[in-house]
Chain A
Amino acid sequence: MGMGIVVATRDRDVPEDVFDWFRHVDDTFSTYKEDSEVSRIRRGELTVDGASEEVRRVLGRCAELREETSGFFDIAVVDGDPSGYVKGWSVDEAAALLDRAGVQEYAINAGGDIRVRGTWRIGIQHPLDPQSLAKEVEGTDVAVATSGAYERGDHVRDPHSRHAPAGILSVTITGPDLGTADAYATAAFAMGGHRAPNWTAQLNGYEAMTILADGRVLSTPGFPSA
């Protein structure tokens, strides 16, 4: 997927299947791979209906998330590239794999998006100083996703105005599902500082920490600060 994924376990070795799984995800979804299903769909060589069940499920979920976020998460903005959702979704599937393999304490970190089983101490990078932390989180059986000004070298933009969102430095979302948390973080960040806090406050089953450009940090009551 063009980035490193770190899998750490406390009670037993990481099963090889996990790495096979991520390779398979890359082969199927990578826009850098000519023969991946996503690349073929984008070139018009493959229809969504003709794609594998996995791809249809991912694209279906992206459509749902577009509705849930009033279009602030929308893969159409990046030419139908579902990578933003696939990253977290593939980690969710890998976590299920580890659960089935009987691993009881593990942590997966995919380029800053995290999912853990057991209790782990997580530092959230400071949005202005990557060598410092903005917040420490104590996470148990939870996914943690953060959206900020730069993601994969691209600017996150408000899909409605096409401008960079104003007044906001980052949004961190925690909850049961990393794919969803990631999409929510992306959407909230794109909404900008005047809309993000209120929107995150009404999320069901997900907690949030929004860092505004004026230095205020607005968190939902259940956000797992350490």
Chain B
Amino acid sequence: MRTKITAAVGVVALALPVANAAAAAKKKVVTVTKTVTGPEAVADRWGYVEVALVIKKTTTTVGTHKTVKRTIVKVKAPIYPNHTDRSVFINQQAIPLLTQEVLTTTKFNPNIELVGGATATSYAFQQSLQAALLQAKKI
């Protein structure tokens, strides 16, 4: 995650023009702040990540000479599903809350009659496992 933010910042930094300091009598300064959003990037564990940067652009005009300076004021990186989804679950009252547990591993036991799933298992394994389970229960 940090690497992605750094990379996004790096890309923007390269695009920034070099600012020149200028000293003179008549000076006009205009400042504009804008938010730019990077493309959605697929991250490994956290899902889609979209980085937003708040840019401050300062235009300094001295007589006929104009310089522009841009700085990154803030980096915003909403991370799914870590902190955003919790507020979504609570705020959207029309949607019922989901219960949350930690993934555990359970062994097959004699109570299991059917096996459901869609993992990297061959159908042959599924089918023979299922048939064996049913035979064990003498159905």
Query: What is A's interface to B at a CB cutoff of 8 Å?
Result: 3-4, 6, 8-10, 107, 109, 111-114, 116, 120-137, 144-151, 161, 163, 166-170, 172, 185, 192-194, 197-198, 200-202, 211-221, 223
Contact = CB atoms under 8 A, between A and B. Distances in A.
B32 interface: no
B11 interface: no
Given A133-B108, A212-B81, A215-B102, A201 B95 contact: yes
16 contacts: A4-B124, A112-B115, A114-B114, A123-B108, A125-B115, A128-B119, A132-B106, A133-B107, A134-B106, A144-B116, A145-B116, A147-B118, A148-B120, A170-B118, A202-B94, A214-B46
B119 A6 contact: no
A122 B115 CA distance: 6
B106 to A, nearest CB: 4
Nearest to B102: A215
B103 interface: yes
Interface residues of B, number: 49
A93 B35 CA distance: 54
Nearest to B42: A166
Contacts of B88: 198
Contact of A121 (B48, B81, B99, B112): B112
A223 B101 CA distance: 13
B80 A116 contact: no
A212 B98 CA distance: 13
A84 B118 CA distance: 12
Most buried by A among B107, B119, B134: B119
B127 interface: yes
A194 B85 contact: yes
A167 B114 contact: no
B119 A127 contact: yes
A130 B120 CA distance: 7
Given A112-B118, A170-B119, A192 B48 contact: yes
A123 B107 CA distance: 10
B119 A122 contact: no
A182 to B, nearest CB: 9
A122 B112 contact: yes
Contacts of A121: 111-114
Contacts of B61: none
A149 B130 CA distance: 21
B3 interface: no
Given A109-B130, A130-B125, A166-B47, A197 B119 contact: no
A125 B106 contact: no
Interface in B7-53: 42-48
Contacts of B104: 134
Contacts of A116: 114
B122 to A, nearest CB: 9
Nearest to A168: B47
A130 B89 CA distance: 31
B131 interface: yes
What 7 pairs across the A-B complex have the smallest Cβ distances? A125-B117, A194-B80, A167-B47, A194-B47, A4-B127, A130-B121, A123-B112
B35 to A, nearest CB: 21
Contacts of A170: 117-119
B95 A198 contact: yes
A169 B119 CA distance: 9
